[in-house]
Chain A
Amino acid sequence: MKHLDEYRDGDTARRVAAAIHREADPDRRYRLMEFCGGHTHTIFRYGIEDLLPANVEMVHGPGCPVCVLPIGRLDMAIRMARRDGVILASYGDMLRVPGSKGQSLMKAKAEGADVRMVYSTMDAMRLAETSTGRQVIFFAIGFETTTPPTALAIEAASSKGLTNFSVFCNHVLTPPALGAVLGGPATGDADVVAIDGVVGPAHVSVVIGSRPYEAFVAQYRKPVAISGFEPVDVLQSILMLVRQLNEGRAEVENQYIRAVTRDGNGRARQAMARVFEVRPAFEWRGLGSIPYSALRIRDVFAAFDAERRFEEPYVAAEGVKSCECPAILRGAKKPTDCKLFGHACTPETPLGSCMVSSEGACAAYYTYGRMREPAA
């Protein structure tokens, strides 16, 4: 862990923070969006905002896989889990997310559905191997980080000839979502926040590389700094963005050079391309329908596609009224702008997806940062 200590070192962090204070122009605002929920988590976990000048503001982005999944897709998973002879395998975070009509996978499980928490797609596939006579569905969610393992598991299941394993694919793509956030209202809402620069994804960029961001930077004239997940990484990336903005530059810079190259991980991208193809459009919570923003399983692996095997239709569904998750995911509102935050909606009793995942802005704010709120 020596490698990590370097990026958590208090003195280094304070030195970078001092440079941000020195170089940030007091006469302007710097509204920087961290796209990834992993960065949101780091920012609150280490209290990074305490080290920033007041005019350098962090806006929390939509890069939390649990948060952006629309309720209609979660409802589909719940319906699949309730079928006879089915085991639904899911990452733990999804179990507590509220679906429509007060449903959740956790409640379905308590009512008798066989829902299992797994750590990886391979765990789900192994579960299928030892559960003959039962259909195992893996509830796949996530950005490009979790997609290659899903691809490899489907290929492995195919080569083993498994007939009781399938994947409910909800993998989404980062660049179109970033475009929706930078480019304005995909939803038609006028409340999309003006962002000056973007702290770019860490693990996602390890897979896709830095090249995909170049088109956005050229199109929208906003700087991007790809950042590691440690606190010093994030501070250094903020400093890079402040410098770009001061100098009127808009480029893709890579702070996370220890892991991210321009072209990313070729083998991971090839695995994704073999198994998945881009959907014409996909519904995102908070961002609306975004063209070419998600993946589906190619025809050649159709036997492993739970959507096709179980013919479960997508029905759009609304969340709890006055839940501000959609606006929070666009960066248009802060968790504390939501009337439900901290009262009706807490990590123990979440009403919206942003309060469930540790990468969600509401959960991070509540768990680590609520002392900043004036006492009620």
Chain B
Amino acid sequence: MNAPSRVAARRLDLANGRVDLTYGAGGRAMQQLIDEVFRPAFDNPILARGDDHGVFHVSAGRMAMSTDSFVISPLFFPGGNIGSLAVHGSINDVAMSGARVLYLSAGFIIEEGFPLGDLARIAHAMGTAARAAGVAIVAGDTKVVERGKADGLFINTTGLGIVPPGIEISGDRARPGDLVLISGSMGDHGVAIMAHRAGLEYETTLESDSAALNSLVATMVDAVPGIRVLRDPTRGGLAAALNEICNQSDVGMLLDEAAVPVNPDVLGACELLGLDPLNVANEGKLIAIAPAAEAGRLLGRMRGHPLGCNAAVIGEVTADPSRFVRMATRIGGERIVDWLAGEQLPRIC
């Protein structure tokens, strides 16, 4: 982001104005957009220097980095918007290494005609989310594309953090006998979005669970430095995340369906939409895998944090060359918890 300009004769019309192609052309209009929308929203000393890069001090050791692009519809949903989601998403991906998350970058691809007021609301939500998580947005980029070349607004964020010494968290470290924990109820984000899309808002008071998990991770790592795996079950839900871990670690799992918390409203909407809450995205929950001897302490610490108050042990890691995630069902049968094939589709019959 370039140096502050003070070149504009009039302030942007955030009530009725729309983004046009000049806002991405590198001229005064773009500078004004940065000065009036992004800079105040993200305000921090590194960004305020106005360079094309953010410069910061780092300690010796290991860094963690992750990037994610957000192309969601609708852009505003109960419990958040694309901006807060983009901040939480990259913070969480970095935090799942056990890292202390420090910095974010944000790239915007804006469709010509996008309302300036919406852009300002989204930028404001990003700034608020980042500050609440103790993370600074220190670099950014803005592009405007012709109408029809993007769907309103796409955001990419990249996160950077420092992994504390002695922490070794990775998807390939699950071992038979370890316990599997989750930090709360499954499916809230995806069902809130799908219910919103399907026009079921009147049926539910569902909200996305979108949240930054870095402070929860910090307290967990502090209590149990020997945590083996952390993962946030986003797209594909719990089912996809656990299958990924089983493949990485060459293990299986056995879950207890009755132990997996699912909000009754989410369950109800899943019935109407023909979905399985275990395949539905979460944006403020994590999976933790830890040695059985340390799981009790970990669970206690998770439950003591506002984002983990419904944490639960949901199963254990098993030795299984087929790498199946199995689940003892509520009625005493057994089934596989599989990846979802294709898109999530409603049932017909």
Specify the chain B residue showing the minimal Cβ separation from A50: B333
Contact, CB under 8 Å: B336 / A369: yes
Contact, CB under 8 Å: B258 / A10: yes
Contact, CB under 8 Å: A367 / B258: no
Q: Out of A10, A38, A96, name the residue touching B331 (CB < 8 Å).
A: A10
The answer for the CA separation of A230 and B267 in the assembled complex, in Å, is 14
Contact, CB under 8 Å: A50 / B334: yes
- How many residues belonging to B are interface residues under a CB distance threshold of 8 Å? 28
Q: Out of A44, A66, A232, A235, name the residue touching B348 (CB < 8 Å).
A: A66
* Chain A CB within 8 A of B9 CB: no
Contact, CB under 8 Å: B336 / A371: yes
* Chain B CB within 8 A of A37 CB: yes
* Chain A CB within 8 A of B198 CB: yes
The answer for the CA separation of A203 and B258 in the assembled complex, in Å, is 27
Contact, CB under 8 Å: A51 / B336: no
Contact, CB under 8 Å: A370 / B332: no
Contact, CB under 8 Å: B335 / A44: yes
- Main secondary structure on chain A at its contact with chain B? helix
Contact, CB under 8 Å: A142 / B348: yes
Binds A, one of B54-62, B153-161, B166-174, B338-346: B338-346
Specify the chain B residue showing the minimal Cβ separation from A145: B349
Give the chain A neighbours of B45 by CB distance below 8 A. Answer: none
Give the chain B neighbours of A366 by CB distance below 8 A. Answer: 338
Q: Out of A10, A38, A117, A143, name the residue touching B332 (CB < 8 Å).
A: A10
Chain A interface size range: 35 or more
Contact, CB under 8 Å: B346 / A119: yes
Contact, CB under 8 Å: B333 / A367: no
Contact, CB under 8 Å: B333 / A358: no
In the complex, what's the smallest C-beta–C-beta distance from B202 to chain A, in angstroms? Answer: 16
Given contacts A47-B335, A51-B333, A371-B322, contact A4 B349 (CB under 8 A): no
Interface residues of B in 263-298 (CB under 8 A from A): 264, 267-268, 271, 274
* Chain A CB within 8 A of B324 CB: yes
Given contacts A1-B264, A348-B342, A367-B336, contact A65 B348 (CB under 8 A): yes
Give the chain A neighbours of B335 by CB distance below 8 A. Answer: 44-47, 368-369
Interface string of B280-321 (1 = CB under 8 A from A): 000000000000000000000000000000000000000001
In the complex, what's the smallest C-beta–C-beta distance from A20 to chain B, in angstroms? Answer: 13
Contact, CB under 8 Å: B331 / A357: no
In the complex, what's the smallest C-beta–C-beta distance from A159 to chain B, in angstroms? Answer: 23
Q: Out of B268, B321, B347, name the residue touching A375 (CB < 8 Å).
A: B321
Give the chain B neighbours of A359 by CB distance below 8 A. Answer: 347-349
Give the chain A neighbours of B274 by CB distance below 8 A. Answer: 358
Specify the chain B residue showing the minimal Cβ separation from A204: B349
* Chain B CB within 8 A of A352 CB: no
The 8 A-B residue pairs with the shortest CB-CB distance, nearest first, are A47-B333, A347-B341, A13-B331, A92-B345, A50-B333, A368-B335, A47-B334, A38-B349
Question: 17 A-B Cβ contacts within 8 A?
Answer: A1-B267, A10-B331, A36-B349, A38-B349, A44-B335, A47-B334, A51-B331, A64-B349, A141-B348, A143-B349, A366-B338, A367-B336, A367-B341, A368-B335, A369-B336, A371-B324, A371-B336
